[in-house]
Amino acid sequence: MPRLKKKLRSRKSGLPPGALVHIGDIKTTTPTLTLIDYSPDGFSERELPDVAALDALPRGGGVRWLNLHGVHDAELLAAVGQRFGLHPLVIEDVLNTDQRPKVDDYDDYLFIVLHLYDIGRNRGDVTTDQISLVVGRDFVLTFQERPSGTFAPIRQRLRAEKGLLRRTGSDYLAYSLLDAIVDSYFSVIERLSERAEGLEEEILGKPQPSTLQGIHVLKREVIRLRRTLWPLRETLNTLCRGDAGFFRPETQLYLRDVYDHTVHVLESLEDVRDLLNGLLDVYLTTLSNRVNMEVRTLTVVATLFMPATLIAGIFGMNFHFIPWLDQPLGFWQALSLMAGVGAVMTAVFWYRRLLR
Amino acid sequence: MPRLKKKLRSRKSGLPPGALVHIGDIKTTTPTLTLIDYSPDGFSERELPDVAALDALPRGGGVRWLNLHGVHDAELLAAVGQRFGLHPLVIEDVLNTDQRPKVDDYDDYLFIVLHLYDIGRNRGDVTTDQISLVVGRDFVLTFQERPSGTFAPIRQRLRAEKGLLRRTGSDYLAYSLLDAIVDSYFSVIERLSERAEGLEEEILGKPQPSTLQGIHVLKREVIRLRRTLWPLRETLNTLCRGDAGFFRPETQLYLRDVYDHTVHVLESLEDVRDLLNGLLDVYLTTLSNRVNMEVRTLTVVATLFMPATLIAGIFGMNFHFIPWLDQPLGFWQALSLMAGVGAVMTAVFWYRRLLR
Amino acid sequence: MPRLKKKLRSRKSGLPPGALVHIGDIKTTTPTLTLIDYSPDGFSERELPDVAALDALPRGGGVRWLNLHGVHDAELLAAVGQRFGLHPLVIEDVLNTDQRPKVDDYDDYLFIVLHLYDIGRNRGDVTTDQISLVVGRDFVLTFQERPSGTFAPIRQRLRAEKGLLRRTGSDYLAYSLLDAIVDSYFSVIERLSERAEGLEEEILGKPQPSTLQGIHVLKREVIRLRRTLWPLRETLNTLCRGDAGFFRPETQLYLRDVYDHTVHVLESLEDVRDLLNGLLDVYLTTLSNRVNMEVRTLTVVATLFMPATLIAGIFGMNFHFIPWLDQPLGFWQALSLMAGVGAVMTAVFWYRRLLR
Amino acid sequence: MPRLKKKLRSRKSGLPPGALVHIGDIKTTTPTLTLIDYSPDGFSERELPDVAALDALPRGGGVRWLNLHGVHDAELLAAVGQRFGLHPLVIEDVLNTDQRPKVDDYDDYLFIVLHLYDIGRNRGDVTTDQISLVVGRDFVLTFQERPSGTFAPIRQRLRAEKGLLRRTGSDYLAYSLLDAIVDSYFSVIERLSERAEGLEEEILGKPQPSTLQGIHVLKREVIRLRRTLWPLRETLNTLCRGDAGFFRPETQLYLRDVYDHTVHVLESLEDVRDLLNGLLDVYLTTLSNRVNMEVRTLTVVATLFMPATLIAGIFGMNFHFIPWLDQPLGFWQALSLMAGVGAVMTAVFWYRRLLR
Amino acid sequence: MPRLKKKLRSRKSGLPPGALVHIGDIKTTTPTLTLIDYSPDGFSERELPDVAALDALPRGGGVRWLNLHGVHDAELLAAVGQRFGLHPLVIEDVLNTDQRPKVDDYDDYLFIVLHLYDIGRNRGDVTTDQISLVVGRDFVLTFQERPSGTFAPIRQRLRAEKGLLRRTGSDYLAYSLLDAIVDSYFSVIERLSERAEGLEEEILGKPQPSTLQGIHVLKREVIRLRRTLWPLRETLNTLCRGDAGFFRPETQLYLRDVYDHTVHVLESLEDVRDLLNGLLDVYLTTLSNRVNMEVRTLTVVATLFMPATLIAGIFGMNFHFIPWLDQPLGFWQALSLMAGVGAVMTAVFWYRRLLR
């Protein structure tokens, strides 16, 4: 059962703003800094022991991409922030892994927060990772809660010698990262659709009480995902309008494409939600139908047997003078009477549309 | 049962943007290129073996309309794209048959994505085809997933010597194509309405469990269609506002008409949806009514027979001294007692409004 | 049962735009042309045999109002269109009686589409007529599907010598016509309210299965009317903003009044809708209440008679040694036991709040 | 039961606009004209026999407030309208007591329509009075359907020699009147809240069928009030924006306060509505719970007594050879069997979670 | 059970605007005035006996923060208002503890109203305190209904010598206060989430009638909180847009952060609401499921025992000639017949899907 978001945010109440406190679970043991420098002509990739190591590295005219796995080390983050001249609020937001997606424009750089979703095949098997991006004129910083394969293809494309990615600036890199994240939502949607359709089959076939819980859980996951995607859509829309001037017009064309994908994901999610709501209706109606059928069975049984039982009881009374008792066919007459009464009553109810 | 949209979009995750991968089912075996050149004075129509064949054809001052059936051949599409100077994202979107309707303005041309719907008379018999249009100053490209008769009347009108269509530019041709597509929605709506009214008759007459599934399936189809039509409405609205300058004011007047039709289709769809929602209510209430009637029957049966059975049981006890047993009319007294008790109980329940 | 709107619009698919095809039922046999010319000084009213007759009539400086009953004659309409220089789309829209309310601004004239509603006292007795208005600088054209009394008072006021109507221009005439149409909605609303309140009385008194259908049908009519009124509201709002300059400021003041009336009609319609929704809730709850009461009756009956029947059965067994059988008061003891057990069980259930 | 708004508006259909016809109930016998003239230095208050009496009264530099109780006298209203140069539509709107709240800006004066609500402690005991205000540069006209105490405190404050009210212009008087009207809504809301909470206690304690009707009626009253308050909010918002220039900036500050109060009233109304909706849910669920409990009782009774009755029946059969019949403890063995079977069945059902 | 907001606002009807009347409960006995003066260089904190004491205190160039606990003393508030040149409406709003959150811009200062929420672990244990802020160029006034620890950390940070808070102006102090208030909502949300999840466990485990009331009560609290948070969000949004110029651009960056937090709180609240709505559905369906199971049990019992009882009755009749009676195995034949009939009926119903 997925829990409501509750990352002990209250732990921070009373602290001054900009106080660097990590909020959330620690998902990786030691933070890892990876630096990629690239330009149309060159490419270098190295793991850094600490932020200070950056000073030793010469800065060419290319784009610098610093990626950090593990965001619970407040000191390390503060050092990164200072090195790149980031506002304290940015570092605070990176530390707090319970942000909603947003884009903040700090004249010299853009700060973007997104989430990576992963939903397993089983119920409640959901993981969320916050990814923060800082996009400067000639650098991009990415902060992830734990290593994930999402950015691997981009690194691969950078390593390959040719391609648009190497020739263009930090804005295109940022776009590629955003694109990779949004694309990963498609498989989440597919997994959700599969589970919804599994539930649909169950309900149209043989619904069980556990099916209901399945719908309940899936609905909550959909609602949760939706709540993340709406601000993401807004965020990408803001980037597309591009007042900040960080994204060149050519790149903005691509951003619009990412925005379209997000809208598409959201609509597929609405499809799942509508399906689930429809299923709940079908389930409830099927239940009612079933009660209906069983009450009818009960009525038929009672209608057939109660009169007959009464007749048997009547001829079982111990009066001295009861008609038919001494007649040779009395017994069979009584049985016929039972059958007759049952038939007549059933016919009457049938005719008055009570039993069909 | 219509499946949720799921065209294995995820297959593309990790590829660079603009990667030309076909997403969707392949609906026609060999792609067909058809070229129509027309001007007020001339008209020519020919099938092309490949894109290179275009180079051999002289270009007059008229309008060129290139139509392609079958969009799974990425190479062919790339060739078309290069020939007409299209942006890689356009070709990517043509290949991906899971787009939502949209219009993108690339300075030199407009790129429009729409869908063609067809709903059969039977449940779940739905086919969707994506149609992409590229509208340039003097050319129009159309990409369809498979041959359809939708554009046949337009070709017919072009072949005929006179008419507004031949005298005007590519914008009027584009309008005519859009109009043909939107008009085809009217018959889809009619088919849906018919099915909805069939279900209504079933429910007001003799509802069955399968009726419920019918509503469920139809509702899903309506929701799906609606999800396509809303962005289509937006798209046409964007074209009507016509900031791009591709459509001349005279043609914009006609576009506004197409826009009105789309709104009309959407409203008819809402009618169907409202009808279906109303039907669900009626169905559920009819079910409750029915349970009600049957519980009442059961109550009547029990109220009449239980007391009588008890009386019969009482006079069937083996006590040595039981009143009435030896009286000649004892039996008939007992029967009267049974009838009397039943009558009194029924009267009491009737009076207290329990049985009516 | 009102049918969904379905006027075989699809009949037109594939035809060129502007194709003059009548869509809808033919509601009057021969079209009638009525011409009224008026100015502060003069007034003339005549029926015309055809459009050509207009040429013979001198044109003063006053306002010309041409009214046409019956819109299925495409040729006649085309002639009118040509005579007054109307755009082909206008004539197409007049012929298609399945338009939604709208106003189109063609520099030289405004084209307005509205509907006249009439709802009889019986279910489903609904008639809709489309009324199209063309408002020029010094003329007004009205197209109606069949004769109706709606415009009679206006003609009457024009015939009377004095009054604002005669002294002002075509815009005030157009306003008067709109006002007459909108005012006619008030009686429709009253009729709907009456029927809704009739259903309310039925439900709070003695609900029947037919009541449910009554609600269903009325709801559909309300939804249908609402769908016409919303675009009408928009249309009037557009006219009020009056960018087109067809309505002089003095007249715009009056238009705002018509707009207020439309809003008022819409809100009354919402009242009816809310009432109907509330009724459905009350109906369903009343049903549940009733099932509840009957299940309770059944429980009481079973609780009282089943134990007693068992006791009777026990003393009816044929064992040789059964206590009490030989005692003179055994029978009465058994009866007391039955009554006692019934009383105790009823008391227990009562105490545990099961039967109250 | 409150009726839907239905003041025979249709009575007016077909009349020319501006036709002076009273719509609504006549709530007071003779109209009363009261005139108050005040300035920082002087104050006079007199009842006028007719409008002509105004001519005899000298006009100082102060503010003139003319109040009229009773709005069914069309002639009197026409005279007032002419005396103060009002537009015919204003007088028409004053006569029609079925207006929705609005503000109309006629260059020389503002025309404001509001409603006074009063809800008694009993169901359906609702009265609505329309109050129309005309606010000129140096005069205020108020038209009420019947005398009410709402404006008494304002008159009192005017009579008192000092206070802001006497020193400021007609705009501040208008504000004070609006404030008095909006403030009166607070007690309406309190009354509604009390009734809603009364229903809540009933439902959480001992719900009865009449409770349901109580909710239904209260809901309708809330919906009705809400429908009046929304346009009132709009109206006050329009006044606050104050494009007309009738309200000086100092007064606009106060108007904003009245606007805040209206929003507050609306939100409290939403609270009541939410409470009522919640109550309906609780009521329905309580009902279901109860049916549930009673069906369970029935099941327990049947499960315990049916097998026992069967056993008694078996030993009551008249076969010559039935085991146990001749044994001295046979009777007690049979009773034990009955108890045993009942116990086992109850245990089985209990274990399978059917009876708990 | 939380009551609807009802602070006897009507007590004020009829009084002139700006009348200083306290509305609400008195939550502290004697009002306390606390003054803090600070600048980068100095800090002083003292409790004041009355407002006049302010005159004796020299005013440096720093920021002055006057805090008042207890807002029921109208005279004291009027004195404060006069001392700082506040508008009468401000003091009126401070006295009325039933305000909705808002920000009013009075050229020389901003007036902000907020609420402090506290929800205990038990049902209905909710306390709301209104906090009013007046933010001037170099002073901040805070009015609280009773002492709370919310501002303690800020006082602490001021007392500490260094920190941004001491170096910046009144706008940053105001921001810090707003931040402290909004942060306190996080713990409220956590408490609500805990209670919601407690209810979820109850419902998925063993639902009880009291669970329903728990949902009802919690829903009302959520709705109430939501109604406070929406205008708070608006208020903060207004401050962020910062047209008033009270907040310097650096501080506005921080305000945007507070705004983000509010949005976050609201979304978590929506999560709780969605969860509660989902729970209600699950609860209702579980109930239906249960009725279903019990009706089935009843049907099984009746189907098995009624035919058998009839057979026993038949062989218990007193006819002289009944087959089997004299056969040695008659009794066992009868029992077999009973078992057989029961088995056949159960099989039939099973096959016709009535009992599964």
Task: Put the strands of the sheet holding E126-136 in their side by side order.
Answer: E43-48, E32-38, E63-69, E139-144, E126-136, E109-119, E102-106
CB contacts under 8 A, D 231-260 vs E, are 253-254, 256-257, 260
pLDDT for res B80: 92
| Among D294, D312, D318, beta carbon nearest to C354 | D294
pLDDT, tens only, B68-78: 988 888 889 99
Tell me whether A306 touches chain E (CB under 8 Å).
yes
**C140 within some domain:** yes
Residue of B nearest to A263 (CA): B100
pLDDT for res D35: 93
Residue type at C55?
A: D
Contact B335 A314 (CB under 8 A): yes
Contact B209 A286 (CB under 8 A): yes
Q: Which residue has the tokens 């449910």?
A: C212
Asked if residue C207 and residue C94 are part of one domain, the reply reads yes
Asked if residue C193 and residue C95 are part of one domain, the reply reads yes
pLDDT for res E113: 92
pLDDT for res A16: 66
Provide the CATH number for the domain around residue D261: 3.30.460.20
Would you say residue E2 has pLDDT above 50? Answer: no
Chain B positions in Cβ-Cβ contact with residue C218 (cut-off 8 Å): none
Residue of C nearest to D105 (CA): C253
Contact between D16 and C163 under an 8 Å Cβ cutoff? The reply is: yes
pLDDT for res E7: 47
List C-alpha distances in Å: D257 to A307, D175, E27, E92, E300. Answer: 76, 10, 26, 11, 69
Q: Where are the beta strands (DSSP E) in E2-125?
A: 32-38, 43-48, 63-69, 102-106, 109-119
pLDDT for res D175: 92
> How many Å separate Cα D350 from the centre of its chain?
50
Which one, of C88, C77, C85, C65, lies nearest residue C15 by Cα?
A: C88
pLDDT for res D143: 94
Contact B312 A307 (CB under 8 A): no
Tell me whether D287 touches chain C (CB under 8 Å).
yes
Contact C320 D325 (CB under 8 A): yes
| Among D176, D186, D263, beta carbon nearest to E10 | D186
Label the pairing between strands E139-144 and E63-69. parallel
Asked if residue A320 and residue A259 are part of one domain, the reply reads no
Would you say residue C121 has pLDDT above 80? Answer: no
Among the candidates D239, D260, D285, a domain finishes at D285
Asked if residue E208 and residue E85 are part of one domain, the reply reads yes
Own/partner contacts of A189-194, CB < 8 Å, gap of 24 or more, are A189/A265, A189/A268, A189/A269, A189/A272, A190/B6, A190/B8, A190/B9, A190/B10, A191/A119, A191/A120, A191/A121, A192/A119, A192/A218, A192/A221, A192/A222, A192/A225, A192/A269, A192/A272, A193/A268, A193/A271, A193/A272, A193/B4, A193/B6
Contact E212 D187 (CB under 8 A): no
Contact C307 D305 (CB under 8 A): yes
Asked if residue B274 and residue B329 are part of one domain, the reply reads no
Query: How close, in Å, is residue E294 to chain D by CA atoms?
Result: 6
| Among E260, E289, E313, beta carbon nearest to A309 | E313
pLDDT for res B174: 92
Asked if residue B277 and residue B148 are part of one domain, the reply reads yes
Chain B positions in Cβ-Cβ contact with residue A306 (cut-off 8 Å): 301-302, 305-306, 309
Query: How close, in Å, is residue D157 to chain C by CA atoms?
Result: 36
Which one, of E23, E182, E194, lies nearest residue E92 by Cα?
A: E23
Chain A positions in Cβ-Cβ contact with residue E271 (cut-off 8 Å): 4-5, 223-224, 227
Residue of C nearest to D307 (CA): C310
Asked if residue E257 and residue E144 are part of one domain, the reply reads yes
Query: How close, in Å, is residue D190 to chain E by CA atoms?
Result: 7
Asked if residue E163 and residue E65 are part of one domain, the reply reads yes
Asked if residue B193 and residue B327 are part of one domain, the reply reads no
Tell me whether C334 touches chain D (CB under 8 Å).
no
Contact C100 B263 (CB under 8 A): yes
Residue type at D67?
A: N
Chain E positions in Cβ-Cβ contact with residue A87 (cut-off 8 Å): 253
**D269 within some domain:** yes
Which of B291, B304, B336 best tests the A interface by mutation, with the highest count of A CBs <10 A? B291
Among the candidates C285, C305, C327, a domain finishes at C285
Contact C281 D283 (CB under 8 A): no
Tell me whether B302 touches chain C (CB under 8 Å).
yes
Tell me whether A278 touches chain B (CB under 8 Å).
yes
Chain A positions in Cβ-Cβ contact with residue B100 (cut-off 8 Å): 260, 263-264, 267
Asked if residue C151 and residue C254 are part of one domain, the reply reads yes
Query: How close, in Å, is residue D130 to chain C by CA atoms?
Result: 15
**C217 within some domain:** yes
- Tokens at residue E176, please? 């810090």
Among the candidates D285, D304, D324, a domain finishes at D285
Provide the CATH number for the domain around residue D319: 1.20.58.340
Query: How close, in Å, is residue B347 to chain C by CA atoms?
Result: 13
Residue of E nearest to D150 (CA): E14
Average pLDDT, chain A: 84
The pTM score is 0.79
pLDDT, tens only, C10-58: 556 556 666 677 777 777 778 889 999 998 888 889 899 888 888 888 7
Would you say residue C234 has pLDDT above 60? Answer: yes
pLDDT for res C247: 86
Contact D294 C299 (CB under 8 A): yes
**C201 within some domain:** yes
**D155 within some domain:** yes
Contact A302 B306 (CB under 8 A): no
Tell me whether E355 touches chain A (CB under 8 Å).
yes
Contact B184 C13 (CB under 8 A): yes
pLDDT per residue of chain D (356 residues) written in tens, 0 to 9: 344 444 455 555 556 666 677 877 777 778 889 999 998 888 889 899 888 888 888 777 789 999 998 888 888 999 999 999 999 889 988 988 888 888 888 888 999 999 988 876 666 667 888 999 999 988 999 999 888 888 888 888 888 866 778 888 899 999 999 999 998 898 888 888 888 888 988 887 777 777 888 888 888 888 888 888 888 888 888 888 766 678 888 888 888 889 988 998 998 898 888 888 888 888 888 887 778 778 888 888 888 888 999 999 999 888 888 888 888 888 899 999 999 998 888 888 778 766 65
State the angle between helix axes of E170-205 and E152-159 in degrees (0 to 180), rounded to the nearest 10: 140
Contact A317 B334 (CB under 8 A): yes
Q: How far apart are CA A291 and CA E352, in angstroms?
A: 14
Query: How close, in Å, is residue A285 to chain E by CA atoms?
Result: 10
**D356 within some domain:** no
Residue of E nearest to D297 (CA): E294
Contact A282 B216 (CB under 8 A): yes
Contact between E77 and E20 under an 8 Å Cβ cutoff? The reply is: yes
Task: Chain B: list its partners (3+ Cβ pairs within 8 Å).
Answer: A, C
Asked if residue A180 and residue A79 are part of one domain, the reply reads yes
Tell me whether A306 touches chain B (CB under 8 Å).
yes
Contact A223 E271 (CB under 8 A): yes
Tell me whether D157 touches chain E (CB under 8 Å).
yes
Chain D positions in Cβ-Cβ contact with residue E17 (cut-off 8 Å): 175-176, 179, 254, 257
**C179 within some domain:** yes
Chain B positions in Cβ-Cβ contact with residue C288 (cut-off 8 Å): 288
Contact A14 E183 (CB under 8 A): yes
Four-point Cα dihedral B251, B253, B258, B262, nearest 10: 140
Q: How far apart are CA A96 and CA E186, in angstroms?
A: 14
- Tokens at residue A248, please? 């060149």
Would you say residue A124 has pLDDT above 70? Answer: no
For residue E4, the 8-state DSSP code is P
Residue E325, SS3 per DSSP: coil
Which of C310, C322, C337 best tests the D interface by mutation, with the highest count of D CBs <10 A? C310
pLDDT for res B4: 45
Helices (H) and strands (E) in chain B, counts: 8, 7
Chain E positions in Cβ-Cβ contact with residue A100 (cut-off 8 Å): 260, 263-264, 267
| Among D196, D263, D319, beta carbon nearest to E315 | D319
Q: What are phi and psi of E96, to 5 degrees?
A: -85, 100
Q: E304 or A84: which carries more pLDDT confidence?
A: A84
Chain D positions in Cβ-Cβ contact with residue C274 (cut-off 8 Å): 220, 223
Asked if residue A267 and residue A347 are part of one domain, the reply reads no
Would you say residue C113 has pLDDT above 80? Answer: yes
Confidence of residue E6 (pLDDT cuts 50, 70, 90): very low
> How many Å separate Cα A317 from the centre of its chain?
70
Chain B positions in Cβ-Cβ contact with residue A282 (cut-off 8 Å): 212-213, 216
End-to-end CA distance of chain A: 42
**C356 within some domain:** no
Question: Domain limits at A213?
Answer: 9-285
CB atoms near residue A128 (< 10 Å): 18
Query: For the residues A288-306, what does the mean pLDDT come to?
Result: 82
Would you say residue E243 has pLDDT above 70? Answer: no
Q: How many domains does chain B have?
A: 2
